[in-house]
Structure formats: structure tokens, C-alpha cells
Amino acid sequence: MSCFSLLCGRKGSSLSAQPTEADIDLSSFKNINLYTYKELQIATERFSPANKIGEGGFGSVYKGKLRNGTMAAIKVLSAESKQGVKEFLTEIEVISSIEHENLVKLYGCCVERNQRILVYGYLENNSLAQTLVGGGRSSLHFSWHTRRSICIGVAWGLAFLHHEIEPHIIHRDIKASNILLDKDLKPKISDFGLARLIPSNITHISTLVAGTAGYLAPEYAIRSQVTRKSDVYSFGVLLLEIVSGRCNTNRRLPAEERYLHTRAWDLYEKGELESLVDSSLGGDFDVEEAIRFCKIGLICIQDSLQLRPSMSTVHDMLIGERDVNEKMMSKPGLLFDFTEPKDQGKQKGKVEEVEVEKTSLLAMTGSEKKHDLESSSLSASTGSYATMTFTSICDRSN
């Protein structure tokens, strides 16, 4: 048994008289709830497939009942996400100290047996991807009032990460599958801070994640330029998805409706934004408010990150405490309207993978000059732009 497992096994007990290096590491993390592997094994019935509730880019997620009776979502991080225990725990200490009603609570972790396992509060109603925008397999009904509350809640949670935490946290992966819903359909943002747990040479977001491409701000996807404004872009896409009840990309639709970003902009220019609102609401919504939400979405997804508002401004606009300034509204920056599946004949229901060559990436932006992009992408430190694999999960069912 390793030092880690010994230590994890005696949570709360005093350390041995002659601490090893590993002892010292762990003893300095007093504020972290450390779970033993055995405890999590019992909670998940030996990580039984029956308790597996999801699989993401970071690893598998299991539902489990902790010793104190609390339900938890137990995320077993995959091999790529392994890093030194000290670095890992440093991040965990920060993340688990963050509390907000619109953020999923990290209870603690397990670092035993070379495992990295995160233990989160369990959310009863799955993610927005599984219920509202991912293909309608859910029986849940999302009224306009509920959608409005979800948009405002997510904006508030994100504004908290951006403006209330010091140093601020950029989520980097805001999307429908990272918005979980509790029993009352209150939204909670998951996976915040996780990007920092992944070694920098592993580009989880840009290369490994399924279904993310439509949420990526162009400057982030092309130049790895990560700012709070790239989260604002992703939030704008999500906002349009919640209002319209559809995924941001659906290649089964006619060309002019395929991408939510351009669809919303076209309708805005024609003064017909109302028709973007989900038809399943049967017209039962506040028209003025829904149009305002669509405009806020469009303001967030502008190509120029300087023109995108901060998340606290977005929140204030959503609740009507701040006017939506249409003067600062310009065409959306769109990452991938040029992409087409390599194999159009893939089976329905299968994930489509689209390889995007660098030249295509360079061709896709609206306002930026081609040669500027080329030089910046070539000088990017990871040099990982030669090919990117985008997977469009929404195309399966919408």
C-alpha cells in the first residue's frame, strides 16, 4: 500500500513522527476532503457500469452514495489528466473552497493508488445537453420562465468565477453538457477549474472534446488566446441554444438554418428574431424578453472580443438592469461554418468526426486578416493546429 493510501485511509488522524515527502504534501492540505479509494469503491458498487452516468473528456462519471448518505457524482480522471499530487491538490483546494448556488460543489477527491478522482455534489436532472438542446430525449418541459432562470443563473455563476474569485477563473468549456440541473431545474456550472488540472501539453478543449467546436470563440480556437471574453462567447452560444431549444450546429437543416450563430444574425437583420424562439413553447413566452435575450446572445458572440461585454454586464442585461446597446452589435465570429463531414454516409446516431485542415481554419474567420492568423497560429506554442478533430454530437438527433 502506498503512502498515499495510508494517509487517505486515516483522514483526520495525526501524521507519523517521521513524515515522508508524500506525507508533507498531504499534511499541508488541511482544507481538502480526502476520500479513500475503498470508500468510493463502496459508494459506486465497485464502479459498476450500472452506476456509470456519463463519460466526458476527463474520464468516466459514476453516481454513488457516500458514507454519510449524500449522493455524489464521482469523476474518475483519465490517464492524460494525471499530474503531481501536490499540483493536483493545490488546484483542488482552490476549487473546493468555491461556493456559489450556480456552481457544482466539489466535495473533495481521492489521490490514492495513482488515481485522481473528484467527488462532486450530485445533480438530479442531468445536463442541458441531455434535456433541452441535445436531442429531446428528456420528458422535462422547459417553460419560458424556466429558460429565463437558467440563463440568468448560468450568467450569475460565470460572473462569479470571472469577477468575484481572486485570481479569476476562466472556465474554458462553457457548453450545454457542462450545465447541470438540480431537482428544481436550477442550473449549476460544472467542470470549472478543471482545465488547470490538465497538463498544458494536453489540449483537452481544442482537440479532445466532443461537441465543443460551436462554442469556441474564434481567437481561442485559432490562437489559443484564452480570456474571460472567450467564456462570454461560449455563454452567448449557450444562451441562443436555450432560447431556441436547439443545438448550435445541425447539418440536417437547410444551409441557412444549420448554424445557430448565423441563423440568429440573419433573423436579427430581418427584424424577425422572435421566430428563433423554440416552437415547442407554443408561443407561450414573453416576446420582448425573448428577443432581448437573443440580442444579448448576439452581443456575446461578436468576432471582436473587445466588443463582447463582461459577464457581470451580461447578467445585468438579462435581468433588465442594463440596456442592451445594439449600436455595439456586429456580425458573429464563427469558427466552423465551412466544415463538412468527411464521410457523409456515416450511420445516423453515430458521432461525426470532421477533420479541419489548417488552411481551412485560416479561411474561416470573418473580420481578421488571413495572414495575421497564419503568423499567429504558426507561432502558437503548442503548434497543434495542423489538424483538429471536431465532433458534432448535436447532429445525431436534432
* Consecutive H or E run containing 54: strand 52-56
Task: Quote the CA–CA distance of 398 and 396 in Å, as a whole number.
Answer: 6
In the complex, minimum distance from the CB of residue 102 to ligand ATP, in angstroms, rounded to a whole number: 13
Interacting positions 200-219 with ligand ATP (CB under 6 A): 209-210
For position 241 contacting ligand ATP by CB under 6 A, the verdict is no
Instruction: Using CB under 6 A, pick the residue from 5, 190, 249, 398 that binds ligand ATP.
Output: 190
Task: Quote the CA–CA distance of 306 and 309 in Å, as a whole number.
Answer: 8
Task: Quote the CA–CA distance of 132 and 238 in Å, as a whole number.
Answer: 11
For position 248 contacting ligand ATP by CB under 6 A, the verdict is no
In the complex, minimum distance from the CB of residue 396 to ligand ATP, in angstroms, rounded to a whole number: 14
In the complex, minimum distance from the CB of residue 123 to ligand ATP, in angstroms, rounded to a whole number: 4
Mapped onto helix, strand or coil, the DSSP state of residue 179 is strand
For position 127 contacting ligand ATP by CB under 6 A, the verdict is yes
Nine-digit cell string for 12? 483526520
36 vs 127 by CB, closer to ligand ATP: 127
The answer to whether 173 is a known catalytic residue is: yes
Task: Quote the CA–CA distance of 81 and 198 in Å, as a whole number.
Answer: 5
120 vs 259 by CB, closer to ligand ATP: 120
For position 231 contacting ligand ATP by CB under 6 A, the verdict is no
Q: Is 75 annotated as a binding residue?
A: yes
Active-site option among 25, 173, 231, 278: 173
Task: Quote the CA–CA distance of 28 and 43 in Å, as a whole number.
Answer: 27
56 vs 309 by CB, closer to ligand ATP: 56
Q: What is the DSSP letter of 347?
A: P
Determine the size of the site formed for ligand ATP (CB under 6 A).
24
Q: From the centroid of its chain, how far is CA 279? A: 26
**Plot region of 288 (φ>0 → left; ψ -120 to 50 → alpha; else → beta):** alpha
Task: Quote the CA–CA distance of 388 and 385 in Å, as a whole number.
Answer: 6
Instruction: Using CB under 6 A, pick the residue from 29, 58, 220, 233 that binds ligand ATP.
Output: 58
For position 35 contacting ligand ATP by CB under 6 A, the verdict is no
For position 120 contacting ligand ATP by CB under 6 A, the verdict is yes
In the complex, minimum distance from the CB of residue 122 to ligand ATP, in angstroms, rounded to a whole number: 5
267 CB contacts (<8 Å, ≥6 apart)? 273, 275, 276, 294
Site of interaction with ligand ATP (CB under 6 A): 53-54, 56-58, 61, 73, 75, 104, 120-123, 126-127, 130, 173, 177-178, 180, 190-191, 209-210
- List residues with catalytic annotation: 173
